[in-house]
A and B are shown apart, each in its own frame.
Chain A
Amino acid sequence: MTNVSDALLTLDKVGKRFGGLTALTDVSLHIKRGEIYGLIGPNGAGKTTLFNVVTGLYQLDSGAFDFAGQRYTQSKPHLLAQAGIARTFQNIRLFSNMTALENVMVGRHLRTSTGIWGALTRNATARAEERHIVQRARELLDYVGITTAHQTLAKHLSYGEQRRLEIARALATEPKLLALDEPAAGMNATETVALKALLQKVRADGITVLLIEHDVKLIMGLCDRVAVLDYGKKIAEGVPEEVRRDPAVIAAYLGGEAT
């Protein structure tokens, strides 16, 4: 492992099984602060499982991971969100019957504190916090490029807007690591270009990005480093150009034996 001190997320031999199926086998990798890290691999390779493990939706069976200096063997989604991991989902999971603005406002839940008493009395603190939540949510919607549809229900937004709304909602939790599960899936070429620009902007603002993606062009043009999973094992890691020429990777994608 190179230079562990600047690593934000380090996986240490993480394993995950579902009954007899081994979804992840001793996966170790480290993601440095400030980089865009790509995770690729054929369908069923365990990419989303890995996401679910580091965001607390699944409990790992072996190994551990370190995030921002804290070691985890088991945790809960809201605690990892608290620690600074925010994610989007492969099949968009927005709060469909809430407006775009409300979706992002929910993302602020974690970093705000108004309780029952504040909600009932609407004292000065609660009102100020509520104003701040709305303002921040509006800024984030503008940031991801949803400028006019703030009051539209999430389910009525276009597909590309829904993907970007998920990113805005995740950013509202003030993450250190933004984990995106196939953000470009189903996007057209223009939307993908906009997404790429958005992710570069996110990184420029100091947020580390972890990306699962099938769009090789996007991965190659965006990621600093890439890891390849196949059948739950990491078969390659490195800068995109290198990984692309790796025989094991070619074999995994095209089938057949590595030569």
Chain B
Amino acid sequence: MKLHRPANRHLALAAILLVLPFIIDALFGHGWVRIADFALLYIMLALGLNIVVGYAGLLDLGYIAFFAVGAYTYALLGSPQFGLHWPMWVTLPLGAIIACIFGVLLGAPTLKLRGDYLAIVTLGFGEIIRIFLNNLNAPVNITNGPQGISGIDALQVGGFSFGESHQWLGVRVDDVHLHYYLFLAFTLLVIFVSRRLEDSRIGRAWVAIREDEVAASAMGINTRNIKLLAFAMGATFGGISGGLFAGFQGFVSPESFSLMESIMILCMVVLGGMGNIGGVVLGGVLLVALPELFRHAAGPVQQMLLGKVVVDPESLRMLMFGLALILVMLWRPAGLWPSTQRRRELNTEEGA
């Protein structure tokens, strides 16, 4: 097989992605497949934020709010909370649409703000959503407050549930594996949408606004609409990811949607390579996998080298995370995989 042929490369990549959960399961155990599932959810979030921050250059620190909106939409319509059990093919798109509306609502007041000011206001909006979710248990109990909503319906299509193991041809496929495939499908969809938008009239308008808003408007770009479109698209991806998260976890509470999560997703975008889809995916994978690796490895390694656990693995994890951030920013300020790749692709197309 010639790996340099794009079609073959895609086939090889598809094959790897398909067997990946089984490889992970065999090598590292069940828990890591679950981590892979979360990585996919985070990749979707990071790709959504990439539209807002990477393409349009709007620094949004409250992005997790749209994840929360998607998750709570799914949770409220598919749990004993209201006794509603709407199917996934209704609640997921509905969550995406509501998140999209929230994207426009929260984006509209920030249109005239730039840079630091935009960051502070969006940070505030993100917190407002979380605090609302935390307090909407009185006088009428909607969100169940800090206790969160539990017993959320598993993701299921027709009679097929992703929340339980299935047996096919004598092979047992567990729920974490099934979720992996479901999330993979959605991630690929999000990547497809991102790529198509990036290389289009809309995508160019986003980048133009990022590069110089005044010049963009003087060239006839309606900056208000184009910015709102970026907020709406980013929020939609967040909403989808949120709905999947709620169905996967079976439980949501406001503490899953803290500022720290927004910053984490922003780090994935910035570390991986702002504006470059491959970089953002890489950032997502690394920032989910590495901290987990530290969590698991830090204790035993210290035990082995020093004979006792000196630093608590949990705090060491954050320490290493901070160090990694600083190192990447020092040596690769444009991210691990910056977006020059696309330019090279454009060049080769021209040559052909």
* Residues in A lying within 8 Å of B, measured CB to CB: 55-57, 76-78, 81-82, 86-87, 89, 93-99, 102, 105-110, 112, 114-116, 118-120, 122, 126, 129-130, 133, 150-151, 153, 169-170, 172-173
Cross-chain contact A109 with B212 (CB below 8 angstroms):
no
* B219 partner residues in chain A, CB cutoff 8 A: 81, 86, 106-107, 109-110, 169-170, 172-173
* B217 partner residues in chain A, CB cutoff 8 A: 56-57, 76-78, 81
A82 CA / B222 CA spacing, docked (Å): 10
A129 to B: closest C-beta gap in Å: 8
A96 CA / B207 CA spacing, docked (Å): 10
A168 to B: closest C-beta gap in Å: 11
B197-219 to A contact mask, C-beta < 8 Å, 1/0: 10011111101100110111111
A122's closest neighbor in chain B, by CB? B196
A220 to B: closest C-beta gap in Å: 28
- Whether A99 touches B343, Cβ cut-off 8 Å, given contacts A94-B212, A116-B202, A120-B197, is yes
B211 to A: closest C-beta gap in Å: 4
A94 CA / B214 CA spacing, docked (Å): 10
* A173 partner residues in chain B, CB cutoff 8 A: 219-220
B203's closest neighbor in chain A, by CB? A119
Cross-chain contact B208 with A98 (CB below 8 angstroms):
yes
A44 to B: closest C-beta gap in Å: 21
B212-233 to A contact mask, C-beta < 8 Å, 1/0: 1011111111110000010001
B193 contacts chain A at the CB level, 8 A cutoff: yes
Of A78, A93, A170, the contact of B212 (CB 8 Å cutoff)? A93
Cross-chain contact A133 with B201 (CB below 8 angstroms):
yes
Cross-chain contact A98 with B207 (CB below 8 angstroms):
yes
A155's closest neighbor in chain B, by CB? B211
A126 CA / B208 CA spacing, docked (Å): 20
B316 to A: closest C-beta gap in Å: 38
B347 contacts chain A at the CB level, 8 A cutoff: yes
* B343 partner residues in chain A, CB cutoff 8 A: 99, 151, 153
A112 CA / B201 CA spacing, docked (Å): 8
Cross-chain contact B221 with A102 (CB below 8 angstroms):
no
User: Which residues 254-306 of B sit at the A interface, judged by CB distance below 8 A?
Assistant: none
* B216 partner residues in chain A, CB cutoff 8 A: 95, 106
* Residues in B lying within 8 Å of A, measured CB to CB: 193, 196-197, 200-205, 207-208, 211-212, 214-223, 229, 233, 343, 346-347, 350
* A95 partner residues in chain B, CB cutoff 8 A: 207-208, 211-212, 215-216
A169 CA / B204 CA spacing, docked (Å): 13
Cross-chain contact B346 with A106 (CB below 8 angstroms):
no
A134 to B: closest C-beta gap in Å: 10
Of B197, B201, B211, the contact of A109 (CB 8 Å cutoff)? B201
Of B196, B211, B223, B347, the contact of A119 (CB 8 Å cutoff)? B196
A116's closest neighbor in chain B, by CB? B202
Total number of residue pairs linking A and B with CB closer than 8 Å:
108
Cross-chain contact B350 with A151 (CB below 8 angstroms):
yes
* B221 partner residues in chain A, CB cutoff 8 A: 78, 106, 109-110
Cross-chain contact B347 with A109 (CB below 8 angstroms):
no
Cross-chain contact B207 with A78 (CB below 8 angstroms):
no
A126 CA / B203 CA spacing, docked (Å): 14
Cross-chain contact A119 with B218 (CB below 8 angstroms):
no
Cross-chain contact A93 with B214 (CB below 8 angstroms):
yes
A14 to B: closest C-beta gap in Å: 19
9 nearest CB pairs, A to B:
A110-B220, A81-B220, A119-B200, A95-B211, A77-B217, A93-B215, A106-B208, A114-B201, A78-B222
* B212 partner residues in chain A, CB cutoff 8 A: 93-96
The contact sample of 22 A-B pairs, CB cut-off 8 A, is A77-B214, A89-B215, A98-B208, A99-B343, A99-B346, A106-B205, A106-B208, A106-B216, A106-B219, A107-B220, A110-B220, A114-B201, A119-B196, A119-B200, A120-B193, A130-B200, A133-B201, A151-B346, A151-B350, A153-B343, A172-B219, A173-B219
A32 CA / B269 CA spacing, docked (Å): 51
B62 to A: closest C-beta gap in Å: 23
B200's closest neighbor in chain A, by CB? A119
B220 to A: closest C-beta gap in Å: 3
A95 CA / B346 CA spacing, docked (Å): 17
- Whether A109 touches B204, Cβ cut-off 8 Å, given contacts A76-B217, A81-B218, is yes
Cross-chain contact B218 with A98 (CB below 8 angstroms):
no
A102's closest neighbor in chain B, by CB? B204
Cross-chain contact B208 with A119 (CB below 8 angstroms):
no
B218's closest neighbor in chain A, by CB? A77
* A99 partner residues in chain B, CB cutoff 8 A: 343, 346
* B223 partner residues in chain A, CB cutoff 8 A: 78
